[in-house]
Structures are given as C-alpha cells and as structure tokens.
Chain A
C-alpha cells in the first residue's frame, strides 16, 4: 500500500486523537479525575472495635452526638428514617461470615454502621449531577445538598444501605436545631460526611470524640504513624462486603 507523507501525518494525528479521547472516555467511565497528577492526599478511615462497643450495650452517645450536631431527625416511621450512624446486629452486617454455632449474644451483638467512604464508591459513579463525590484531599465521600435532585440512584447503588432519603420535610421532626449546621430539605438524599465541618476546624468526628468506650478510632490511612494504620497492621480486621470491590474504609474488630 502506498501512502504519501501528508496522508501518514494525517493518519498518525487521527490515531493519536482517537487514542487520547479513548483514554479520557475510559478514565471517565472509571470515575477518575482528568488532572492526573497524584497529589499528597489523605484517606480518612475508621475502626469500629465491637468488643469495646458491646461493653456498653445501651449506649447511644455516638448516634446522639451525630444527630444533634448534624440536625438528623429521629422519625418514628422506620421507612422514612434518616440514619447517618446507627446500630445493626452483627449477623445482619456480616451475613457472609455467619457461623451457625455462634452464641446468640454474639450474633445479636450490635455494631455501629455508617457510610464506608469507599475507595471506589458506586454512589458517586451513578450520581447524575455530581451532588456526591469523593474528595481528593481526604477521601471523604461528600454530598452537596444544594445540587441533589433526589433521584435516589445512589441509594440503589450503595451496597451498604448507608444512604437516607428525605421522604418528608425533616424540620417537622426536629425538636432542637443546631444553627451551626444546616438541616436538609425534603426530597434530597443524605448520609454521613465524616464531620467534614469539624475536620475543617481541626477537630475529629463527633461520634469518635464522644465514645466513652473509645471503640471508634478515626485516622488517616496514608499516614503510617496513625493509630488506625498501626491497628490495621497488628491484627485482623473485617470490612463489609469487600468482594464487591468498593474498597470500604470502615474496619471492624469482632
């Protein structure tokens, strides 16, 4: 096949264009950002030590602290509930690990669940407006309640049931308001945001701070000296449904 130089240059240019745009499309599909350069970033994570947590079975301090600092209403209708951090039985949280001979007390042991702030969050991938995204600087899966249209695609995508939709106006169910944090409006989705507003002030998450058993340990996974890194290195921990590839960042000690 004969080919002139002009044709060759044209072809070469076109193939580069196709290759570059193809790579961008792939990167978009993978949910990656375009700016490319790896930046020094943190990845916040939390370890839930259920052994310590279960020493105080009636304690709800972490839940109360979260609710009051973020204006999370307590709604009696279980289908309309808003939950950022709450208790579930171990057997329901770690279904795959169920052992039939486990003592009932251990099966029914409550453990704390919240948003997993995944490495590869499906909720972010599906959101049609960018109302939820993974922050580059600290790995928090953030929410912009101004932008959410309430399509609830993220709720279908989240394998952990961590997202709540405001089926009704939350203000009708709030008795006390914290003016430092907004409430939400009806028709948007919400979830735990790892207390980004407290982190901006140099404080830790409210739940970890108030836990009397020190069962919630918060820290940066990218810092080898952090307490979470040391704990994860020195003993076996579990994550919820790791085989799905979402890379959850809440670790459990049973």
Chain B
C-alpha cells in the first residue's frame, strides 16, 4: 500500500511537470491585441514583399550575412529593382526601430530574439545614449 502511494505521488509529480507549460500561464495577464509595431515613416516598401519578410526575414538575413562576409558581395537587388547595401545595421535598422519593431513582434510571438545584437550595434539606441 505504501508503495502504491509512493508510485502515485511520483506519477502525479511527473504529470504536473509535463503539463507545466499549460498551467503556468494561468492567471498571468495576456493580451490578445496585436503588438503596436512602429513602421518606418519614410519608406513604403521593404527589400522584399511584406509576406516574405514576415515569414522568412531570418533566411534573408542569413543569406546576406553569407554573401557579405564570405563572398565579398555587398549589393542586394530587390524585387522592385532597387539596390540595397546588405547590412543589418545600415539598411534594416536604417529604417526600422529595433525596439519598437523587431523586439515588440518577437516578444508578442514568444520568439527568442536571435543573438544578432550581441555584436551588431543598434544605431538608434546608440543615438539615444544607450548601448
């Protein structure tokens, strides 16, 4: 009998542990409202169509990284025929505000921000006196 209780207790503990993601958010305040993303005021188009950027911006960035660092290619010809310098800080963050765009969406989606900014500098935060 005592053994039975022990086994049941361990099973219960295991059950609580595996269902942790479900119950730990109970009682936390969650908003279903979409994040308030601040879009660049001076530009209408991104380097690729919005749908592509939404789903695959990381692939584009990794591709840029490979071309610039490993193949010494620096110019990106966009879908509408414009040329861009392939640069995260220069081009992307030249228009987008990291905190009001990248971070807000990543937080809302619960996607961990990749470690780009361990090295790459956010120029707007720098101007604001932050590092």
Contacts and interface: CB of A to CB of B under 8 A. Distances in A.
Interface residues of B, number: 16
A145 interface: yes
A146 B70 CA distance: 11
A135 B69 contact: no
Contacts, number: 39
Contact of B70 (A144, A174, A180, A182): A144
A133 B69 CA distance: 11
Given A177-B126, A177-B131, A200-B74, A183 B69 contact: no
Contacts of A71: 121
A144 B69 contact: yes
A182 B72 contact: no
Interface stretch (B7-15, B16-24, B38-46, B112-120): B112-120
A171 B131 contact: yes
A249 to B, nearest CB: 18
8 contacts: A137-B72, A145-B119, A146-B65, A146-B69, A180-B90, A182-B119, A183-B119, A200-B74
Interface of B: 65, 69-70, 72, 74, 89-90, 115, 118-123, 126, 131
Interface of A: 71, 133, 135, 137, 142, 144-146, 171, 174, 177-180, 182-185, 196, 200
